[in-house]
Chain A
Amino acid sequence: MTNDNNQENRFSLDEFSRQSEAYYSQIKKELESKYKGKYVAVDFVSKKYWLGETATEALTQAKAQSSPDRLFYLLQIGYPSSFSIQSITSRPYSHPKYDFAWSH
């Protein structure tokens, strides 16, 4: 898997998620009143967001209007998580062989 983002600041997945959710909390009230159920790709650095009817549509809009190499945090407006997988339960899993560099 590749990550061509060469921006300077690097974050762990948890930190990237935490900062993205912190930004989303600032716009959550407005978005939930207008766009419940839609998907939103947020960029906490530029403080911008892009909407879509689907996850792919939101991410495609974000990359087209920002940068194809930029990373975004995806949320479904009005729901506690973007996705649900009922057939999988939590267990400690890690990625020992594959270390991803998170850049933003």
Chain B
Amino acid sequence: MILHGHIDNKNQLWVPITVAGNQGRKEVTALIDTGFTGELLLPLHIAVPLGLKLAGASSCKLGDGSISKQMLFSASITWGTQTRDITVNVIDVEDALIGGGLLHGYVLTVDFQQKTLIVKEPGTDDPEVEFIENRP
């Protein structure tokens, strides 16, 4: 699986994913946040219309050291060519966040000079790179 994201003018890292619940699916551009240890955090305004299934609750340590109780939902996401079931934190924020939990087991390559961002499974070759390298 190879997924190309983009780097914006504030050097923030964005990746497109599709999130599916019981009532629909939606393509979301999510911010990679390595300070988030979960898999995916969705804003209420995105999560609610999708009909994500409530799975339970958990505690979450926030940036100011406080502990927040959060609801957890089940969702199916597609990123690149891969679909997987994940756990989603849902709170009242603006942007969707991808955390280290979702990136675990993948290779994240960020080139801030060329403004390129690639998420890939180990052992997956990028067709574009392979094509260039194999060209006579």
Interface bits B89-107 vs A (CB < 8 Å: 1, else 0): 1111100010101001000
Give the residue name and chain of the A residue nearest to B22 (CB): A2
Whether A74 and B51, one on each chain, are in contact in the complex, defined by CB atoms closer than 8 angstroms, is: no
Whether B60 and A2, one on each chain, are in contact in the complex, defined by CB atoms closer than 8 angstroms, is: no
Given A14-B69, A85-B62: A63 touches B55 (CB 8 Å cut-off): yes
A75 to chain B, nearest CB (A): 7
Given A1-B54, A59-B56, A100-B71: A88 touches B61 (CB 8 Å cut-off): no
Other-chain residue from B59, B86, B87 in contact with A81 (beta carbon distance below 8 A): B59
Interface bits B20-59 vs A (CB < 8 Å: 1, else 0): 0111000000000101111101001001101111111111
Whether B38 and A83, one on each chain, are in contact in the complex, defined by CB atoms closer than 8 angstroms, is: yes
A73 is an interface residue with CB less than 8 A from chain B = yes
Q: How many of chain A's residues touch chain B, expressed as a range?
A: 35 or more
Whether A74 and B72, one on each chain, are in contact in the complex, defined by CB atoms closer than 8 angstroms, is: yes
A26 is an interface residue with CB less than 8 A from chain B = no
A49 is an interface residue with CB less than 8 A from chain B = no
List A contacts of B48 (CB < 8 A). Answer: 1, 98
B129 is an interface residue with CB less than 8 A from chain A = no
Give the residue name and chain of the A residue nearest to B86 (CB): A56
Whether B22 and A87, one on each chain, are in contact in the complex, defined by CB atoms closer than 8 angstroms, is: no
B82 is an interface residue with CB less than 8 A from chain A = no
List A contacts of B47 (CB < 8 A). Answer: 1
15 A-B pairs with C-beta separation under 8 A: A14-B69, A63-B55, A71-B54, A71-B55, A73-B57, A74-B72, A75-B59, A81-B59, A81-B67, A82-B60, A83-B37, A85-B89, A85-B99, A86-B62, A89-B62
3 smallest CB-CB distances across A and B, nearest first, come from: A86-B35, A72-B56, A90-B66
Which residues of A are at the interface with B, using a C-beta cutoff of 8 A?
1-5, 13-14, 16-17, 20, 41, 54-56, 59-60, 63, 71-75, 80-90, 93-95, 98, 100
